[in-house]
Amino acid sequence: MSRAVLVDTPFCLACNACSAECKFENQPPEGLFYTRIDQIELGEYPAVKAEYIKRQCMHCEHPACVSACPVKALHKLPDGPVVYEAERCIGCRYCMVACPFNIPKIDFNARLPVITKCDFCADRQAVGESPVCVRTCPFGALEMGERDELIVEAQARISQSPDRYINHIYGQEEAGGTSWLYLSSVPFTELGLPELGSEPVSELSEKVAIYGTPTALVTVGAALAGVYWVTKRRMEMMTKPVTQDQKESE
Amino acid sequence: MALPNITLSRRQFLKLTGAATAAASTATLGNSLQFLTPVAQAAPLSAEDTILYGVCGVCSMGCAYIAHLRGGRITHLTGNPADQTAEGSLCVKGYSGVRLLYDPDRLKYPMKRTNPEKGVGVDPGWVKISWDEALDLTANTFKEVRDTFGPQAIMLVARTKTWQKHFAQASGTPNHVGHNNTCYTTHDVIWRAMVTGKGKTWTVDYEHSQYILAFGWDGMGKSKNHWGRAVNQALANGARLVVFDPRLSITASKAHEWIPIKPGTDLAALLAMIHVIIDEELYDHEFVNNYTTGFDELKAHVKDYTPEWAAPICEVPAETLARTAREFATTKPAVVAHHKRDAGGPNYTNSWRTAQCFVIMDALVGSLDRPGGHILDRKPKLPGLRDVWEFPDYADTIKGPRIDGLEQFPVLKPLGKGSFSTLAEGILSQSPYPVKAAFFWKHNILSFPNPPRLVEALKTLDFIAVSDVLPTEIVQLADVVLPDNTFYEGSGLNARQYHATYPQVALREPLPPVHDTKSFTSVSLEILKRMGLGEYVPEGMGGKGLTQAELEVLGTTADEIKAQGGIWGEAAPIKPNTEFGTASKKIEFKATLLEENGYPGLPSWQPPRAKSDANYPFHLLIWRRPWDRMTQTQNDPIVSSFCPENRAMLNAARAREMGIAEGDEVWIESLANKIKLKARLTQGIRPDCVAVEHGFGHWSTGLSIAYGKGANDGDLIPTHTVEQQLAAGDPAMSAMMEDVVVKVYKV
Amino acid sequence: MQAPSEQALARPAIYQALVKGLAYPSEEFMAQAQAWQTALTEALETVDLSADQVAAALEESNGDLQALQVEHTRLFINGVPHVLAPPYASVYEDGGQLMGQSAARALRAYQEAGLMLSAAVHALPDHLAVELEFMFYLGREEVEADEQGDAAQADVMRQRSVVFLNECLLPWVPAWRQHVEESARLAFYPALARLAEAWLRTDAEYLTTMKV
């Protein structure tokens, strides 16, 4: 059974307790946060709305980052978290390209630049504790539970308050489903969540890896070769004595 | 420390077995340990997890927490689930408190200054001293000032709580100055006069409201722990939230309607609503008949305050005012949300009248002390000092005139608070007499209107002692620094107040102090003794003694409370009061206490003092980020990264008209001062307003993270003389913090 | 019975001298400063380190106790701007706060060695002076064990010393030393900090070779 979190964005008051406490207890590298609150202004004075949305790794059911990683540094645990082993990471950044939510970040402070991201507090969950953000939120925006039960809960909230919520649970189907599910009172794209079909993004990223890489190697290789030739020519030219005519033409 | 006479010769070095060696001309290093000591028996590795119960002190909500410790250090905090305030949660500020506890900039030892020069940016040249020296120096100086100039020449600038009051009164000074007229005296005076006979109430039953009306209240945006959750619940249960605010606050962003009212005109809107509710007979007849007086006078009084009259004043359509009034009166239960620095707080010259309208509205719809409305605090009756100890009456000098002029405000005076807006002028004009020495606790210069003016005033004093936790600006001006415990390191009991629907008490178990700190309680009592006022410090007097007495009254022990999860008290449903604390025992629409003291008993329209014009076209708005509390939290390395500096927030279209782009440096200038900030453009503010976050502009270089970031909004706010406050005709002595117009222009 | 080597004897003396030198300047210290300096110099000779800079700085200070106290306070306790060179491992290793993992680590090491922090003196476990005092203690116990022929106990002390030095001191003292150099107005504390760092490196090498 997969653990998941329902983010009820109308409840979020942008206090950033989740972001601060995650930073304090999980200690991401300097300058990075594993979770953040985006504040979005919509409309024009005086018809203005402000919305707040917690962003973090979505812990997809079919993670694109897992498929894209050439060294299997990332994998999805059966109970939900998408975790990674920094020691395996070679810093290739395929996962950054593949992730539709722009989540993995490079830790430039590490001796070898490796990626880093929220891991759903997998270690804490393994001993029966809540993720720090879920434990911390004072205002009821985060509810943790079994994924299918949360979907039922989310549907109930929508039914009970149709004026309060858009009739959609983001993450139920998107990208093949995610462990972090969202409710919203405005269209999800306005909150910065990408519009995605229900096809797992990993299939796309596999295509990138299988076809894209060799293609890229060939075309980029050809281009680089071309650049090399031109540069070499230029350098040969430069070492020749410059005639008066050539100088004037430059 | 003395170095024992063990000699070290060139060839034999230190003979550590203690055998005597030939004396030589070299070395005396010593064999002993100073910091470490052998344990009597093998101590268990304290890597185990333990907990301590306590009460958060970052704000006055006082949420009960559970501190989780490993190896003696707090790893994180959680809210106590049994506490009716915390309900198992803290807020972002509360969680951040651990970083205050372990801040390397914390005051660690008593210190004194060696540089006699004082000022902004001046290095005090601190040296560490012993507690004895610090206490003697303070006490002897206070005694000398007292003997030479009289007890009134010493002022205590501190919250008006038990031990602080005792120190001031025992020393004989009338000058116990709290911050309250920058905070909530308007509400306090109105609740005293209309409802309680004492101060305002704090508990609000938002979770059961079905209609929440707010004027400038941003409880959700200030991340008030209980209330954010409660309003969320109410909204999820279909409650309607309507917010009047010149700025789109976080609370306003959650509202069904955000109405950008003209600043300082909420009074007009409210008078119109009261008019509609009475005129259309939408009020709760039963409640009004049984529990109020003065209704007929009120009805006559608001006859001409129509929505059409109010609309051009507030710049809100008349139909909106009328409709809101009808919805408020017919959706039950309904409440006007307020706390401190909303439109009814001491922000404008007319705020006390606005505060009165808040209470009138609640009384008209019958939600006062009823589910869904403001609830009168249910607190246990705990012993005071005189219940526990015998000591002489305080001297009559404590009733004398004050340096802040508070005694000239008779409705406010008995509430025992203070005025920050008049303090600097009082000191500088030596009116009614000179003040020579000060004792500051838990208040900072940056919290005052026009802090530079206060700095000038404080420089005229001979001596300043400060008890505090961080080296804030006031500490930089101190002669003696007395490092205080954080609330984690204190002990005792704390009665629930901000959400107290039934009497409940939280236990405070102390963390062993991280540094060589002492509580204000123990320090102030010691100073009294050394001042020669030992008769006011009978044997055993102190925090622990008071706690013991409190436990006895409750009929329990600390161990018992700990065993029950750190909380004492049995849940009980709210039994509504049918009698109130006024002379008539009813809620008085026309407050006789105000009339008896020369103030009008009913709220009439009065415009705010500051009027925008071509010269000063913008209204100043002051707000706070959710993770900031006054001036204490900007040194937190994590939350300060969310918003490292404050900004001048302007309406985007208006800013573009002025050629100001996002991030441009601008001056904001009032009659008092000017400050420089970068501009932030938003859609969520009236074009005639500029909003600035409070709590920045630290100039204490002792704060490594906060120093130099942003600017202090307070610089823009003028101080007042007592005469100016009296002339304003406000019984609550409001500091009028936002009744300020400014000009904004690019640097 | 194995007589302790010169270096083994000198080590605790050097640590103790550093503890005294880093303490809040007092009248007693100033009165005995010369003797302290001489003892330190002699002990350092066994390891080819010099206390000349420290000596010169002391001379320069001309017995001005208050100046040294102001300097000590601003560098190590509360200063302007901010406490300039906080002498706590946590500040450098654990994100700028006190009582981080480093403090827990040091505390565990003390407990394993049968010690606890004295309640009378308010000091945190990862304060430099406390950590240096611990190294003094271990060195002292090692010498005593050697003199009593308890080679196993001496070994335990050496083992504890090398682990503590590498885990709890060397990782952060260079950063602390840098802060002292950047912020000091007088010469004494930078000289002492440099000496402390040099000594720690020397001692680490020595202890590592001893293990073999």
pLDDT at B5: 36
pLDDT at C81: 62
- In order, the DSSP letters of B568-621 are E---------SS-SSTTSSEESS-HHHHHTTS-SSPPP---S----SSS-EEEE
Cα–Cα dist B546/B548, whole Å: 5
Cα–Cα dist B711/B647, whole Å: 8
Average pLDDT over residues B112-133: 94
CATH of C6-211, one of 3.40.395.10, 2.60.40.10, 1.10.3480.10, 1.20.272.10: 1.10.3480.10
Regarding whether B721 and B660 lie in a shared domain, the answer is yes
Half-sphere exposure at residue B161, Cβ-oriented, CA atoms within 13 angstroms: 11
Contacts of A104 (CB under 8 A, 6+ apart): A65, A93, A95, A96, A115, A116, A117
Measured between alpha carbons, how far is residue A46 from residues B213, B269, B475, B520, C162 in Å?
Answer: 19, 18, 44, 49, 68
Q: Which residues of B touch A164 (CB under 8 A)?
A: 235-236
Q: Which residues of B touch A17 (CB under 8 A)?
A: 90-92, 95, 223, 627
Determine the distance in angstroms separating the CA of A140 from the nearest CA of chain B, rounded to an integer.
Answer: 7
Q: Chain B 73-92, CB below 8 Å of chain C: which residues?
A: 73-74
Regarding whether B535 and B549 lie in a shared domain, the answer is yes
What is the percent of chain B where pLDDT is above 70? 94
Cα–Cα dist B673/B456, whole Å: 14
Q: Which residues of C touch B111 (CB under 8 A)?
A: 73, 77-78
Regarding whether B444 and B313 lie in a shared domain, the answer is no
Q: Chain A 121-160, CB below 8 Å of chain B: which residues?
A: 132, 135-140, 157
pLDDT at A210: 61
Dig out the tokens for B348 from the structure. Answer: 């404008």
pLDDT at A221: 61
Regarding whether B640 and B500 lie in a shared domain, the answer is no
pLDDT at C2: 60
**Could you tell me if A13 lies within 8 Å of chain B, comparing CB atoms?**
yes
**Could you tell me if A40 lies within 8 Å of chain B, comparing CB atoms?**
no
CATH code of residue B306: 3.40.228.10
Regarding whether B178 and B225 lie in a shared domain, the answer is no
Helix C6-22 to helix C33-45 angle (10° resolution) is 150
Determine the distance in angstroms separating the CA of A36 from the nearest CA of chain B, rounded to an integer.
Answer: 10
Cα–Cα dist B320/B326, whole Å: 10
Strand (E) or helix (H) holding B52: strand B49-55
pLDDT at B71: 82
CATH code of residue B461: 3.40.50.740
- In whole angstroms, how large is the CA radius of gyration of chain B? 28
Q: Residue B21 domain-assigned?
A: no
- Give the one of B89, B220, B683 whose C-beta lies nearest to A44's C-beta: B683
**Res. B22: pLDDT tops 60:** no
Regarding whether B530 and B488 lie in a shared domain, the answer is yes
Residue of chain A nearest B93, judged by CA positions: A17
Strand (E) or helix (H) holding B375: strand B374-375
- For residue range B662-720, list pLDDT tens digits in order: 999 999 999 999 999 999 999 999 999 999 999 888 877 667 777 778 899 999 999 99
Q: Select from B345, B360, B375 the last residue of a domain.
A: B375
Regarding whether B321 and B298 lie in a shared domain, the answer is yes
Average pLDDT over residues B502-514: 96
Q: Which residues of A touch B253 (CB under 8 A)?
A: 49-52
Q: Which residues of A touch B78 (CB under 8 A)?
A: 135
Dig out the tokens for A46 from the structure. Answer: 């005086």
Measured between alpha carbons, how far is residue B30 from residues B7, C9, C47 in Å?
Answer: 9, 14, 21
**Res. B20: pLDDT tops 80:** no
- For residue range C25-64, list pLDDT tens digits in order: 999 999 999 999 999 999 999 999 999 999 999 999 989 9
- Give the one of B78, B627, B652 whose C-beta lies nearest to A15's C-beta: B627
Which of A6, A7, A8, A13 to substitute to test the interface with B, most B CBs within 10 Å? A13
Q: Which residues of B touch A46 (CB under 8 A)?
A: 258, 260
H helices present in B254-384, as ranges: 266-279, 285-291, 295-301, 307-314, 318-330, 351-364
Regarding whether B292 and B161 lie in a shared domain, the answer is no
Cα–Cα dist B26/B24, whole Å: 5
Q: Which residues of B touch A132 (CB under 8 A)?
A: 76
- Other beta carbons within 10 angstroms of residue C7's beta carbon come to 17
Average pLDDT over residues B548-556: 97
pLDDT at B460: 97
CA dihedral B672, B677, B683, B685 (to 10 degrees): -20
Dig out the tokens for B226 from the structure. Answer: 């209980």
**Res. B643: pLDDT tops 90:** no
Q: Which residues of C touch B703 (CB under 8 A)?
A: 82
Cα–Cα dist C182/A224, whole Å: 47
Helix C65-76 to helix C173-183 angle (10° resolution) is 130
Residues spanned by the domain of B502: 111-183+380-568
Inter-chain touch A140–B229, beta carbons under 8 Å? yes
Contacts of B272 (CB under 8 A, 6+ apart): B305, B306, B307, B309, B310, B311, B318, B321, B322, B325
- Of A28-32, A147-151, B598-602, C83-87, the range with the lowest mean pLDDT is A28-32
- Other beta carbons within 10 angstroms of residue A211's beta carbon come to 10
Cα–Cα dist C26/B109, whole Å: 15
Determine the distance in angstroms separating the CA of C106 from the nearest CA of chain B, rounded to an integer.
Answer: 11
Three-state DSSP at B177 gives strand
Residue of chain C nearest B100, judged by CA positions: C97
Q: Residue B150 domain-assigned?
A: yes
Cα–Cα dist B258/B242, whole Å: 6
Regarding whether B429 and B480 lie in a shared domain, the answer is yes
Q: Residue B165 domain-assigned?
A: yes
- For residue range B215-229, list pLDDT tens digits in order: 999 999 999 999 999
Three-state DSSP at B376 gives coil
Determine the distance in angstroms separating the CA of C28 from the nearest CA of chain B, rounded to an integer.
Answer: 6
Average pLDDT over residues C63-89: 93
Regarding whether B478 and B395 lie in a shared domain, the answer is yes
Inter-chain touch B232–A51, beta carbons under 8 Å? no
Round the average pLDDT of chain B to a whole number and report it: 92
More confident of the two residues B251 and A250: B251
For chain B, the domain total comes to: 3
pLDDT under 50 in chain A at which residues?
238-250
Regarding whether B340 and B274 lie in a shared domain, the answer is yes
- In order, the DSSP letters of A116-148 are E---TTHHHHHTTPPPHHHHH-SSS-EEEEEHH
Q: Select from B552, B568, B584 the last residue of a domain.
A: B568
Determine the distance in angstroms separating the CA of B89 from the nearest CA of chain A, rounded to an integer.
Answer: 5
Three-state DSSP at B743 gives strand
Q: Residue B739 domain-assigned?
A: yes
Inter-chain touch B104–C98, beta carbons under 8 Å? yes
Could you tell me which chains touch chain B, where touching means 3 or more CB pairs under 8 A?
Answer: A, C
Tally of residues, chain A: 250
Regarding whether B335 and B208 lie in a shared domain, the answer is yes
Q: What is the ipTM of this complex?
A: 0.93
Confidence of residue B633 (pLDDT cuts 50, 70, 90): confident
pLDDT at A226: 62
Inter-chain touch A48–B96, beta carbons under 8 Å? no
Beta strands in chain A (DSSP E): 3-8, 36-44, 47-55, 74-76, 82-84, 105-107, 114-116, 142-146, 180-183
Q: Which residues of B touch C10 (CB under 8 A)?
A: 13
**Residue A209 buriedness (CB in 10 A; 0-12 / 13-18 / 19+):** middle
Contacts of C15 (CB under 8 A, 6+ apart): C132, C133, C135, C136, C139
**Residue A121 buriedness (CB in 10 A; 0-12 / 13-18 / 19+):** buried
Confidence of residue C7 (pLDDT cuts 50, 70, 90): confident
The bridge status of strand B334-337 relative to strand B211-215 is parallel
CATH code of residue B622: 2.40.40.20
Structural domains of chain A ordered from first start: 3-11+57-209 (3.30.70.20)
- For residue range B36-70, list pLDDT tens digits in order: 998 875 445 455 789 999 999 999 999 999 999 98
Q: Residue B723 domain-assigned?
A: yes
- Give the one of B17, B47, B107 whose C-beta lies nearest to C147's C-beta: B17
Residues of B with CB under 8 A from a CB of A: 75-76, 78-79, 89-92, 95-96, 98-99, 220-221, 223, 225, 228-229, 232-233, 235-236, 238, 248, 250, 253-254, 258, 260, 626-627, 638-639, 642, 651-653, 682-687
